[in-house]
Structure 1
Amino acid sequence: MISRLLLEAIMELHHPVFQLKDLSHLWHSTIGIEKESLRLKQDGSLSEYPHSTEWGKRTQQPYIQTDFADSQLELITPPVYSAKEARKWLSATHQLVQDTITTQHDDELIWPFSSPGLLPDDVSSIKIAQLENENEYNYRAYLAEVYGKPVQLLCGIHYNFQINPALIEEKVADFNPNLSIKEVTNDLYLTLGRNYLRYRWLLTYFLGAAPYIADNYSTELYGSPKEKAMRSFRQSQYGYNNDEDVSISYASLEAFVSDVEKAVANGQLLLEKELYRDVRFRGQDRYRDLINNGIKYIEFRNFDLNPFDPYGITETDTDFIKLFILTMLFLPQVEKDEEVELGNIMNHVIASNEAHAALPYLAEGEKLVDAMLLVARALDEQQLMNGYFENLVTDKRQQLYHPELTIAGKLVTIIEKEAQAMNKPAENHFLAFGLNLARQHKETYLERDYNLHGFENYEISTQNVLKHAIKAGIKIEEIDPTENLLKFTYNGHSELVKNANMTSLDTQISYFVMENKVATKKVLAQNGIRVPAGNSFTSFEEAARYFPLINFEQFVVKPKNTNYGLGISIFKTFPSRENYEEALQIAFAEDNTVLLEAFMPGTELRFYVQNNNVEAICERQAAQVKGDGHSTVSELIDVVNSNPLRGDNHRSPLVNIGKGRLEQLQLTSQNLTLDSIPEEGQVVYLRENSNISTGGIAIDRTDEVHDDYKRIAIQSAQFLGANFCGVDLIIKDYTQPIVEEADYGVIEANFNPAMMIHLFPGVGQARPLGKAALKQLFPEAPLD
């Protein structure tokens, strides 16, 4: 069955437009994944809960959608350049979906197989997606009537691919200057589509993963399956297929469009999108527009969900598919519809074969893999990948001879073994096996719920904003992940956001004033806000000489410009000159101006102000450990730091307690060292300042603080010209109103105030500040 042209192609891969030296640029083509999955109850039956309103309006939601049924999820990545990026988006959307359905119902799972494991006895009860667009709903009702509802529940992966347009533009002039970019692009995609349809059976062999299906699965069009361990029910004759009378030519784009339009005109198809083929040409609303305006990308639809993977497709298989697509570009052109039809027949044969059956097209499979190896080696050499791509292919090559190593083969082996141990048929164990995998995947989706999975490189407050943006259907563009700089867009309205709440709502002068602690104090004092008395110094020598003049028994030494509590030392008893000078050195290491301020007694509270409203208040307690009578301070710190919520670099809700100079200085004031063993119950403070960023914890006080202090915080933000502002107050009794000026003092105000301490308080209610920020930026978005 191997064509002569294929054999010749293995000797020297070629293409009329591209050369092998262009592979690096071709690899820079974009991909996108659309992953369908069923929502189930714990017993495996379809969920009866509606598609959650927490996921925004479906007409404006680019990431979380439904397919045919209301319980049928479709999770979508944006166009990305790498498998790693695609997986990042899939992991985020799975986490958010599972978090929502767990919070709302606590009894839903995401089914990991393409084929349903359990169907209702009355399949008419399967609920069609409840869409706002009446035409879309009616179209799904038509599909249910013509094809039956069960077949619509078959789920899979759609793999979108766009050839690097910059490369096409570069190559057109060399190829044929008389042809337009649109004409060359259309021809490239049509050729790619034909070749893919001819040889896609190899991907079905490697990646087919639907050997079992619900016992009562049937369709009016194709009847009931006869065998119970096919490689892929979804890709077989029992899957979703148009009537055999629907004949579509791929000889040219004009012929393809004409045949689709005829099928619609003749009533064979209701709409153009009813054409179900493993290749779709995309980028325009109507197929006729592809001729006029050009194909933008191509969609490949022949992939089962890999149930072993929580996201339905592994990173390596995502790369393998892309490598296969590139190889298709370099094979000789499949020109005749007969060759395309041969590919369809071969694909059905592979899909319908037993999962452990020997490959019937071994010789052609070997030649295709040989062609992929040539492409893989060229890519490895060009991208310095140290054999990565070659290993992708050689790993799959073993499966040509060992079908039990394919995904379907592994599934059948495991399920049959488990079923045999329980003395029951394998097909009867399919549901239980799938539910067990679904529960394991649920744990994966929900672990480290404080993070947004895939986006852990952002600081946690930014991750929280991202969570709410994805749920609401606000599009996200990563401008500079290393700087936490993002672009959000909803319905044509765009906003730039840095570090969660640095936005166009604040001015640059507000930023500069709050960055400068001296300026902050002056502005607030001039407007009648009480601030601590003190002095500032621009050199260590000047500050050191001031020591005899200090007239505060308790005082604070801190850099003029600081965040996260860096460089701050607090003395509640008058220090020695040596300790004072060490505090100065620590502060001057952070800035060239240092402040000395009177220490204000009372409870320190952080007020999070946004848009003239106090959204959250917390009390921050300094980093501390409690003695057990036998562990050293150092060992106690290690125990506290073992909390999974603690970490470094502001990527965790709580920050590890350090053992550095500041911590040791604080221990000295308590006559302790890291090697001291505190008594049982003795509280040992490692920092005097209460910043969470230096190991402290937060206690939510939002509902306990008297409105007088909220008013002071709001006024402080207004005087500083800030929309987002963190205002730190020292208050004698925050539950009582202000009686005299000494009842409070504003010790600091911060631009880009930390959300994390309010999102993840050690004690008390979490406050949804990420959602609040987005609601102000995008009042039109569904964020309620």
Structure 2
Amino acid sequence: MFSEIGQLIFDNESVAKTQDFNMGLEIEMQRVDETGELSREPYPAAAGDEQTNPWITNDFLETMSEVVTPAASHALDAMHYLYSLNNALRAALSPGELLWPLSMPPRLPEDKSQIPLAKMGPKKEAYLKEWVKRHGFSAGTPCGAHINLSIDDHVFEMVYEHMQDRFPDRVELENYLYAIIAQGFLRYRWLITYLFGASPIAEAGYFNKGEAPDHPVRSIRQSSHGFGTKFKGDYTNVQRYVARIEQGAKDGTLISDYEFHGAVRFKGNQNLSDLPKTGVKYLELRMLDLDPSSSVGVRTNTLRFIRLLASYFVMTPALHPEEVEKVMTRADEMNENVAIEQPDAHCQYEAAARAMLQRLERYANQIQLGPEYQEEIQDLEERVDNPFNTLSARLMTHVSHNSLAAYALKRAKRYQDSALQTIRPFKGFNNKRNLSAEELKAELFSGSWMPDSGLQ
């Protein structure tokens, strides 16, 4: 089962380190009023400066709030950061404001000009205006859960020490490992869409007449009806990834290299052209819809599954370079097919989904992960066996008059009430203070549970 690198990691008893991915989370949610309309309230002052606060900001719209966590060593740590920051944002909202828990936006007005784009400085605002001209207003409004994933430094050190004949420097190794993880996630994006897709319908005003799917689907956001540009990246290696994006910006297909919002993005340098020589430092995974059954938009078990997948991709054989483009094209087709399936229909790739989960279960057993991973895989296998257990199918039971607004508002009010009952409300962003990661941790958790405690 193991690749050459995977066997090396296994033989050197470093398998556990392949699970120790540093993980940061970025969760977008729209601010709405109690009727389910996009909020007309200004950006919440108690959330700090929207242009400079690295932990709470906005994206695309003034109403699209984004919570960003520091990188954490364990899934549970990342969730504690997220929960605390989410509560801080909710506490900062104006009376009557709520956070919309669905990926697809609430009903949009006919006159979109009354909804302000994010106020993120002249350069970003000019970019957003051009983006709207090219793609339309609605395409920028879906929200999601983004996961930033970086490999434990010990893995790089150990592999590079034993394989310097193959990798001339450590940057080459870093780029290689991140490329094969990216390929793995893109190859099995369809499975993630099946298991975690949660955007079966859109509210009024999202689609123009005649553009909507003719039936509910698993994930509008993850389909061709979803977010933004359909520009395809090249994930063969980091150099080709950069070259294709730069070519897209040069020929005008992209406004700039910033516009590339693929399901996976290589991150690590502000200047994209320098990325191949400075090295990828983490991956941004952009393939999760918001999970409305969680107040923070994602569940801990989902993060564990993502980490298990990433570890599996590190440890098992990679695609041959000449196969990557063909496999990625096929994977995009499979994801589209799954995304537009009826939420309660059996997946057309059901056998492949079951086989992959069984492979992951064997892998988890082989490297002796804890029972929580076995339990999560078993729960996901039940979603494959019975599509009524998927998030999207469950959401369909709450549809009333072709809308999920009543369900979304009920959830939003419940989560808001819970957040406002916090014993020690966070006030660290008052006076537009910009906190470092260490300062944030100290202020969020002083006198209580502290992240990076070694729990998983």
TM-score > 0.5 by shorter chain: yes
- 2:438 is paired with a residue whose SS is strand
- The residue type paired with residue 188 of structure 1 is L
Paired with 1:274 and 1:241, the residues of 2 have a C-alpha distance of 9
Q: 1:323-381, CA deviations, whole angstroms, 9 ceiling, x for partnerless residues? A: 122222234323320101111111111111111010111221122112211232244x3
Task: Mark the CA change 1:93 to 1:340 in structure 2 (over 3 Å): closer, same or farther.
Answer: same
Which of 428, 443, 446 in structure 1 is aligned with 2:420? 446
Are the aligned partners of 1:150 and 1:219 in contact in 2 as well (CA < 8 Å)? no
* Amino acid across the alignment from 2:212: P
**Equivalents in 1 of 2:104, 2:327: separation in Å?**
29
1:147 aligns with 2:135: yes
More helix by share: 2
2:438 corresponds in structure 1 to: 477
Is the counterpart of residue 118 in structure 1 residue 107 in structure 2? yes
The one-letter code sitting in structure 2 at the alignment partner of 1:249 is D
Q: CA shift at 1:122, angstroms?
A: 1.2
Q: Would you say 1:325 and 2:310 are equivalent positions? A: yes
Q: 2:90 aligns with which of 77, 98, 101?
A: 98
Offset at residue 321 of structure 1 (A): 1.4
Residue deviations 1:523-560, cap 9 Å, x none?
A: xxxxxxxxxxxxxxxxxxxxxxxxxxxxxxxxxxxxxx
> Where has structure 1 moved over 4 Å in runs of 4 or more?
468-471
SS in 1 for 2:70: coil
Match of 1:645 in 2: none
Partner-residue secondary structure (3-state), 2:14: helix
Q: Which has the higher strand share?
A: 1
Q: TM-score, normalised by structure 2?
A: 0.91
Partners of 1:54 and 1:117 in 2: CA distance: 24
Write the mapping of 1:188-227 to structure 2, written as runs, cut at 5 A: 188-218=177-207, 224-227=211-214
1:388-403 map, 5 Å: 388-403=372-387
2:160 to 127, 148, 172: 172
Residue 213 of structure 1 aligns with an amino acid whose one-letter code is: A
Mapping 1:148-547, distance limit 5 Å? 148-177=136-165, 179-218=168-207, 224-243=211-230, 246-334=231-319, 335=321, 336-379=324-367, 381=368, 385=370, 387-412=371-396, 414-416=397-399, 419=400, 425=401, 427-428=402-403, 430-447=404-421, 449-452=422-425, 467-468=428-429, 472-477=433-438, 486=442
Counterpart check, 1:36 vs 2:25: no
Deviation, structure 1 residue 37: 0.3
Equivalents in 2 of 1:54, 1:129: separation in Å? 17
% identity of equivalent residues: 24
Q: What's the CA shift for 1:224?
A: 2.0
CA contact (8 A) 1:23 1:378 kept: no
Looking at structure 2, the residues matched to 476 and 190 of structure 1 have their Cα atoms a distance apart, in angstroms, of 28
Gaps of 5+ in 2: 449-456
TM-score by length of 1: 0.54
Correspondence 1:662-741 to 2 at 5 A: none
Deviations 1:420-457 (A, max 9, x none): xxxxx3x23x111111111111112112x3225xxxxx
CA contact (8 A) 1:124 1:149 kept: no
> Alpha carbons of 1:322 and 1:340: their partners in 2 closer, same or farther (altered >3 Å)?
same
Change (3 A) 1:260 1:173: same
* Number of residue-to-residue matches in the alignment: 441
| 2:452 corresponding residue in structure 1 | none
Q: In 2, distance between residues paired with 1:275 and 1:57?
A: 26
Please state how far the C-alpha of 1:30 moved relative to its aligned partner. 0.2
Partner SS, residue 294 of structure 2: coil
- CA contact under 8 A between 2:27 and 2:144: conserved in structure 1? yes
How far, CA to CA, are the matches of 2:4 and 2:272 in structure 1?
26
Query: 1:92, 1:163 → 2: CA distance?
Result: 25
**In structure 2, do the counterparts of structure 1 residues 450 and 467 end up closer, same or farther at CA, with 3 Å as the change threshold?**
farther
Alpha-carbon contact 1:55-1:472 (below 8 Å) kept: no
The one-letter code matched in structure 1 to 2:325 is: D
Task: Please say if residues 26 and 167 of structure 1, whose CA atoms lie closer than 8 Å, have aligned partners that are also in contact.
Answer: yes
- Output the CA distance in 1 between the equivalents of 2:391 and 2:257: 33
Deviation by residue 1:355-412 (Cα, 9 ceiling, x = unmatched): 1010111221122112211232244x3x6x3x22111111111111111111112111
Partner amino acid, structure 2, of 1:399: R
User: Structure 1 CA distance, aligned partners of 2:283 and 2:86?
Assistant: 25
**Equivalent residue letter for 2:435:** I
The one-letter code sitting in structure 2 at the alignment partner of 1:364 is A
Structure 1 position 228, deviation (Å): 4.2
Per-residue CA shift, 1:278-321, capped at 9, x if unaligned?
01000111221111200000011010000111000011111111
Q: Is the 8 A contact 2:34 2:97 kept in 1?
A: yes
Partner of 1:72: 64
1:667-701 per-residue CA deviation (whole Å, 9 max, x = no partner) reads xxxxxxxxxxxxxxxxxxxxxxxxxxxxxxxxxxx
What is the rounded CA distance, in whole Å, between the counterparts of 2:343 and 2:3 in structure 1? 34
119, 125, 136: which one aligns with 1:137 = 125
